Amino acid sequence: MQVVTLIIILFFCKASEFRKVRRNNRGNNDKSNSSKRSSSTVKRYAPRLPCDIYTYLNEKYLDCQEKRQTTVQNDWPEDLIHILLSRNKIQIIKDNVFSKFQNLKSLDLQQNEITKIEHQAFFGLKRLTTLLLQHNRIKTLSEEVFIQMPRLTYLRLYDNPWDCNCELESLVTFIQIPRHRNFGNYAKCEKPAELEGQKLKEITPQIICQDEDGQPKPLEGPKVTRPSVDSTLCHTYLYPIATLDCRKKELQQVPTDISPDIIKLDLSSNKIKRLQAKEFTDIPNLEILNLSNNGIESIDPAAFSGLMNLHELDLSENKLCNFQYGVLEDLYFLRKLWLRDNPWRCDYNIHYLFYWLKHHYNVNYNGLECKEPQEYKGWFVGKYVRSYYEECPNDRFQVHAGINEDDWEKLEDTKHKTQIESAKTQGVLLTVLTP
């Protein structure tokens, strides 16, 4: 009996020791797991986690999604074609931050915390076709941000708290241009309350610049200022059409007191070197504008803003090398454009002017001939642009349909609509570019 009692006591002692060992092991495992979870947590939320760089279909990608990035890093390679930066912590897009990525085709910035985009933020992105800015905190933006990207085709702006006031007018006008049919399609006003929920694509630009009494609001923010230049030296004629003749008056600026009833404005043979933004907004009925022989060196992209009725524009005998993107966008009814005797420079910057004319075949123009560089001097710009793409490896596999080389050169100085119809009757030449 004593032996049995002793065996039972030893059994309970061993069981007690076994439970203690299990508790100790469990405690050690919990500490180990806790340590692992802690280190995993630190790793997950560490700033500037490494981005993935890979090549797909011969195009280089940088995938930096969900990496807690706050800005663009200097060590990213310059030859990137696509940059994915969605779901990060970026708040401000600063000037020139993407300027070194000159081959970039798409840029994904959605689902960040962006509140501000500086005017030159996308400078240098001349090949960009897709820009995604949806799901951010942007309240206002100017069209100036986008004019640096002549090939932009897709622009997403929805799910931003847009404040539809005067500062947003230029953006609203910009995305409503017919050729921008894929720009900001679902973006909506959040403020003011009376415009909440209305699409930027559908809102009337003038409405967002009215006060409570229906009167135009003063434009907030930086304003375009022009020196006051009167037209007292010019001559006004009312027959056969209302004309302001300012030829050879030594003018250095466009007069600021032109009557809104003027139909024809002749500013030829003056000394106007630059055309500022919105130079002609006070004369919306203008149909004929002569700016020849002024020595004009540059034209602001918004210089012709508001000239919806302009039919004829003479820019001959100036010092223009190219047009910035957007210069001609408001000229929906333009029919004649004089360009002769300008030092047109045949490089990538001339492409905007050529393609605008190509897509607006009703516009008759002349004088678009390369003067610089020396290797292209005397070429028609159309011939230069075609040679540019023939030499470009990315476009060698494209199929181009068009008329033959001789007809293309004739189009530069003749009436385009007539020539195109003639070319259609003669047949279409199909050219396949191969490596």
Higher local confidence (pLDDT), 419 or 152: 152
What 3-state class would DSSP assign to 67?
coil
Same fold? 47-216, 229-342: yes
For the domain 47-216, what is the CATH code?
3.80.10.10
Q: So what's the pLDDT on residue 231?
A: 67
Is the distance from CB of 103 to CB of 81 less than 8 angstroms?
A: yes
Across the strands, what pairs with 266? 245, 290
- Reported as a single tens digit per residue, the pLDDT across 324-338 is 888 998 888 899 999
Residue 291 has a CB neighbour count (10 Å cut-off) of: 24
119 closest CA partner among 91, 92, 95, 151 = 95
3-state helix, strand, coil in the chain (%, to 5): 25, 15, 60
Q: So what's the pLDDT on residue 326?
A: 86
Category of 252 on φ-ψ map: left (φ > 0), alpha (ψ -120 to 50) or beta: alpha
Is the distance from CB of 246 to CB of 255 less than 8 angstroms?
A: yes
Cβ-proximal residues to 168 (8 Å cutoff; 6+ apart), any chain: 140, 141, 162, 200, 208
Higher local confidence (pLDDT), 214 or 322: 322
- Reported as a single tens digit per residue, the pLDDT across 5-51 is 555 555 555 555 555 444 545 555 554 444 444 444 333 444 456 88
What span, in angstroms and rounded, lies between the C-alpha atoms of 405 and 382?
A: 10
What span, in angstroms and rounded, lies between the C-alpha atoms of 369 and 355?
A: 15
What span, in angstroms and rounded, lies between the C-alpha atoms of 187 and 334?
A: 31
Name the E strands within 300-373: 312-314, 336-338, 364-366
Q: Binning pLDDT at 50, 70 and 90, where does residue 296 land?
A: very high
What 3-state class would DSSP assign to 52?
strand
Per-residue HEC secondary structure of 156-175 comes to: ECCCCCEECCHHHHHHHHHH
**What is the arithmetic mean of pLDDT over 149-175?**
89
- Reported as a single tens digit per residue, the pLDDT across 232-257 is 778 888 778 889 999 999 999 998 88
Q: So what's the pLDDT on residue 424?
A: 41
229-342: which CATH architecture?
Alpha-Beta Horseshoe (3.80)
Higher local confidence (pLDDT), 3 or 361: 361
**What single DSSP character describes residue 49?**
P
Q: So what's the pLDDT on residue 408?
A: 42
Q: So what's the pLDDT on residue 48?
A: 55
Residue 195 has a CB neighbour count (10 Å cut-off) of: 18
User: Quick one: which H or E segment has residue 27?
Assistant: helix 2-44
Does the structure show a pLDDT above 80 at 105? yes
Does the structure show a pLDDT above 50 at 153? yes
What span, in angstroms and rounded, lies between the C-alpha atoms of 388 and 359?
A: 19
Q: So what's the pLDDT on residue 79?
A: 92
Higher local confidence (pLDDT), 221 or 209: 209
What span, in angstroms and rounded, lies between the C-alpha atoms of 354 and 379?
A: 13
Cβ-proximal residues to 361 (8 Å cutoff; 6+ apart), any chain: 416, 417, 420
User: Percent of the chain having pLDDT more than 70?
Assistant: 73
Per-residue HEC secondary structure of 186-233 comes to: CCEEEECHHHCCCECCCCCCCHHHECCCCCECCCCCCCCCCCCCCCCC
**What is the arithmetic mean of pLDDT over 65-93?**
91
Does the structure show a pLDDT above 90 at 294? yes
Q: So what's the pLDDT on residue 6?
A: 52
Question: What are the extents of the domains in the chain?
Answer: 47-216, 229-342
Q: So what's the pLDDT on residue 41?
A: 38
**Residue 32 dihedral angles phi and psi, to the nearest 5°:** -65, -45
Q: So what's the pLDDT on residue 109?
A: 94
Higher local confidence (pLDDT), 206 or 142: 142
Q: So what's the pLDDT on residue 7?
A: 56
**What is the arithmetic mean of pLDDT over 152-173?**
89
Q: So what's the pLDDT on residue 13?
A: 55
Could you give the residue ranges of the DSSP H alpha helices within 319-380?
A: 351-359
- Reported as a single tens digit per residue, the pLDDT across 213-223 is 544 444 343 33
Is the distance from CB of 353 to CB of 363 less than 8 angstroms?
A: no
Q: Binning pLDDT at 50, 70 and 90, where does residue 204 land?
A: confident
User: Percent of the chain having pLDDT more than 90?
Assistant: 34
Q: Return the structure tokens found at 390.
A: 């023939």
Does the structure show a pLDDT above 90 at 230? no
Q: Return the structure tokens found at 333.
A: 């009814």
Q: What is the mean pLDDT of the chain?
A: 78
User: Quick one: which H or E segment has residue 433?
Assistant: none
117 closest CA partner among 185, 166, 164, 167 = 167
